[in-house]
Structure 1
């Protein structure tokens, strides 16, 4: 009897001999090589795209955009140039206080705003977050920095008891605020008013902030401002000890075009040099022997005063450059001597005993210059940003006497929109690379 095993053996014996498929091994190896090459190409393209995206971000921000923590013992220095800050730099709400500033540089912030960047003693740029600051449309961009760079004063907005007067901006000005760059605190002095305030001047005399204003008499987008003779319309506020003294139009000293000398406010009133402190406002001093058309800057040793002469007819104000002069006290008052070397547009302070910092708008692109008051020779001291934003660059008065340092350029971080675009590009590259890899591997098969 034939078994199943016998029958299978017979079938196997009768089957024709098989032949191998021609080139089967070589064809398999060729398919494998094509798959590997395609995979390497797709992955390489994706890696290159991702490297380009990452490189773009790295080149825009070559170092950490967050400034170093403030060093209370760091010495003030005068930068040799100032830069227009990137609109996308962080603010103090993010970084914390940056310590005393050596300059304030206004510029665009974000996509449609403006801001004021503080330059720290390390040279880092950070936007100052000043709550409720009245911008340039509301208060002519008025900001003032204390001589040592610690306090930044500004006009603040808020609520009023009656309809607001909007002639100075969308939000009414209600008082003065001071940002402390060391602690990050914001101190306020608010003035009760029915319709808001027309802001006047903010001027530092040492650690004392002087300000004046007029209350609006009506609501709406127009109107007049006035202060009854016995109403408060001025303030002297010593930030060192917190002392505040209110003034009325009868008692308020002149604040306009004031400068700081020691702990006093210095102004020129009808040729007379006047100093004011909280304890002794309106202390008349010596009289100039010529008309003066600028702020008066007392030298660090207190022995001389730098001014611009007024060469126009009495009572005529002009924007033309005027002769720089240095006055010294004598038996008949302050005797002025013109400094040779041409006229000057703005006096900014004393660099040292024999040099005054000035600006000539038509020279060196408006950079700040150091003028030797003995010879009139000048040299470029500080390069300014190419664009001038309100309220303009501000340098604390004491910083003019500080040693100069080579200022590094601030970082240039990319905007959120650009960052989102790069992230989207990277994600798209990964997705498209994956799709291309799948399609290629499906196509290249035996």
Structure 2
């Protein structure tokens, strides 16, 4: 064994030794330099791609609308846009007077749900309203005051017993809140309820009085199936002078609301005397012989005339009913609803082009004395209903606001960023393996 080891040693010692490579050191340095430069270039390109994507996303999310100058008078927009589900919220900060409310889906990076977008009446900016304890009721969940300065909505909270959440809403309703868009102040009224409220109607009678209607659920979610679905209401319509600690007071009227003139008079659906005056608690108005179609009629400022689309089905022909009878059709087109009165002589109404997908709505006005028609607002998919439009602003010429921001889907942005980094790392790994001294 020792002989073999010695022999192998002799062979190794007698092997020819290659001459040293004089360029070996320089080639090694060049090799490491190329790798460092390549790595730095890829890292810089990756950083630039990330910065570009983040910058573009921030630019997309930033409003393209200049802040309103102090003292800017509010107005309705000449066009309503489809809101993006990725719009930012207002974080509870005041927005100033609002022109309209748009119930729509709200999405975040990890979830989606119900939301309400407020359209600024001074800048045209669109933002989701972050309203404290919003129950996000799907049907008449929010109501905008006629001047656009207050938003009423249903409050969620704790009930004294087991809450009822199977009656159409996922969050129990316990009262009503009013958020001031100019100050950010929130005024609450919470009702004593064992299982929660079944919200029904929410509408402003004027700038400071809110009319509501709710019922109390009889049982909670833990009651037997045979007992589910029942609610009771012994009061009917209630009126609340916002801020009055007594809360909403019963009117002794069980009829449903159709609309309001914003001056303390309610138009009730159906009945021969459909106008309810909140000051006198008297029912007046012309005798309207029609089916009780909700939310398609408009009561004049003095409460003596009602504009509505006449016919057995909606849409119909626009007419005006007064104490002396019903007028001849003012508009023969397919009118879907009367929105409100611009003044004592002018009615605003909605027409929709059913041939378009989605259906596109237009708000127009017509003078009763001259028959002159004027296109006011390109409403698009926005459906003007009682409670989602600042009707006082119909008397102001609509303003051309800039198109609101339309943010990208942050999930796509995040995916693009991750893909850019991953591709850069894979390319760098392959390049480093391929580089040779």
| Superposition TM-score, scaled by structure 2 size | 0.75
| Corresponding position of 2:95 | 98
| Corresponding position of 1:258 | 259
| Corresponding position of 1:108 | 105
| Corresponding position of 2:230 | 224
| Corresponding position of 2:84 | 86
Aligned pair partner of 1:383 in 379, 386, 392: 379
User: Once the 2 structures are TM-superposed, how far is the Cα of residue 35 of structure 1 from its aligned partner?
Assistant: 8.2
User: Once the 2 structures are TM-superposed, how far is the Cα of residue 37 of structure 1 from its aligned partner?
Assistant: 7.8
Query: Quick one: distance in 2 between partners of 1:240 and 1:73?
Result: 26
SS in 1 for 2:161: coil
Deviation per residue, 1:312-370 (Å, 9 max, x gap): 4xxxxxx5322211235xxx545433213223222212345435221335266331231
Question: Does the 8 A contact of 1:216 with 1:224 survive in 2?
Answer: yes
Question: Does the 8 A contact of 1:296 with 1:306 survive in 2?
Answer: yes
Query: Quick one: distance in 2 between partners of 1:327 and 1:252?
Result: 23
2:328 counterpart of 1:337: yes
SS in 2 for 1:265: strand
Deviation per residue, 1:381-404 (Å, 9 max, x gap): 223249x8x999922212322222
User: Once the 2 structures are TM-superposed, how far is the Cα of residue 227 of structure 1 from its aligned partner?
Assistant: 2.9
Pairing of 1:1-80 with structure 2 (within 5 A): 43-44=40-41, 46-62=43-59, 65=62, 73-80=71-78
Query: Quick one: distance in 2 between partners of 1:433 and 1:113?
Result: 40
| Corresponding position of 2:240 | 237
SS in 1 for 2:231: coil
| Corresponding position of 1:247 | 250
Query: Quick one: distance in 2 between partners of 1:416 and 1:265?
Result: 45
Question: Does the 8 A contact of 2:270 with 2:292 survive in 1?
Answer: no
Query: Quick one: distance in 2 between partners of 1:61 and 1:335?
Result: 56
Query: Quick one: distance in 2 between partners of 1:299 and 1:123?
Result: 28
Question: Does the 8 A contact of 1:204 with 1:265 survive in 2?
Answer: no
RMSD: 4.0
Aligned pair partner of 1:347 in 338, 343, 351: 338
In structure 2, stretches of 5+ residues that fail to align are 1-19
User: Judging changes above 3 Å, is the alpha-carbon distance between structure 1 residues 242 and 85 closer, same or farther for their aligned structure 2 residues?
Assistant: farther
User: Judging changes above 3 Å, is the alpha-carbon distance between structure 1 residues 85 and 287 closer, same or farther for their aligned structure 2 residues?
Assistant: closer
Query: Quick one: distance in 1 between partners of 2:96 and 2:214?
Result: 29
User: Once the 2 structures are TM-superposed, how far is the Cα of residue 419 of structure 1 from its aligned partner?
Assistant: 4.4
Aligned pair partner of 2:394 in 400, 406, 413: 400
| Superposition TM-score, scaled by structure 1 size | 0.74
User: Judging changes above 3 Å, is the alpha-carbon distance between structure 1 residues 54 and 83 closer, same or farther for their aligned structure 2 residues?
Assistant: farther
User: Judging changes above 3 Å, is the alpha-carbon distance between structure 1 residues 433 and 50 closer, same or farther for their aligned structure 2 residues?
Assistant: farther
Of the two, which has the highest radius of gyration? Answer: 1
User: Judging changes above 3 Å, is the alpha-carbon distance between structure 1 residues 376 and 324 closer, same or farther for their aligned structure 2 residues?
Assistant: farther
User: Judging changes above 3 Å, is the alpha-carbon distance between structure 1 residues 383 and 335 closer, same or farther for their aligned structure 2 residues?
Assistant: closer
Query: Quick one: distance in 2 between partners of 1:351 and 1:426?
Result: 55
SS in 2 for 1:350: strand
| Corresponding position of 1:9 | none
Aligned length: 399
